[in-house]
Amino acid sequence: MDTSYPREDPRAPTPRKADGNTHTALTLGAPRPPPRDHLIWSVFSTLYLNLCCLGFLALAYSIKARDQKVAGDLEAARRLGSRAKCYNILAAMWALVPPLLLLALVVTGALHLSRLAKGSAAFFSTKFDDSDYD
């Protein structure tokens, strides 16, 4: 049973006007913003073709969230939109972290090799006399 919205008390008296018609007044809470489905972000994550197809999973959850929002089930749309957001964040991390790690490894490797080259340059630049080979 869905109890996410406030219900009226059935025992509450209904106000009556002089003409005999009954009217019901509902007091609603503060309106919540509509759920976000992160569809555009998911499309770009899918097109980037990241590892483990996380962008495609995000796209699937985004489409489900949009369908639930159109159907009127806002809680399910919020839940599915949140999952789409999580998959988009994971896809972005998988797309950004490995190249940054690779760049850091290349830079540190180049620095290490330059230090080794400076130390061994003196060995290879040594000139021998012809008398050393006799």
Strand partners of residue 22? 16
Q: Report yes or no: 62 and 48 within 8 Å, Cβ to Cβ.
A: no
Residue-wise pLDDT for 44-67, tens only, equals 999 987 778 899 999 999 999 999
pLDDT value at residue 24: 77
Percent of the chain as helix, strand, coil, to the nearest 5:
65, 0, 35
- Rounded to 5°, angle at Cα 53 from 52 and 55: 130
Residue-wise pLDDT for 107-117, tens only, equals 999 999 888 87
**Which of 57, 66, 47 lies closest to 89 in space, CA to CA?**
57
Residue-wise pLDDT for 34-45, tens only, equals 899 899 999 999
pLDDT value at residue 32: 84
**Which of 69, 62, 66 lies closest to 45 in space, CA to CA?**
62
| Mean pLDDT value across the chain | 81
Provide the whole-model pTM: 0.61
Q: Report yes or no: 85 and 38 within 8 Å, Cβ to Cβ.
A: yes
pLDDT value at residue 113: 87
**Segment holding 78, helix H or strand E:** helix 74-124
> Which stretch of 24-33, 86-95, 125-134 has the lowest confidence by average pLDDT?
125-134
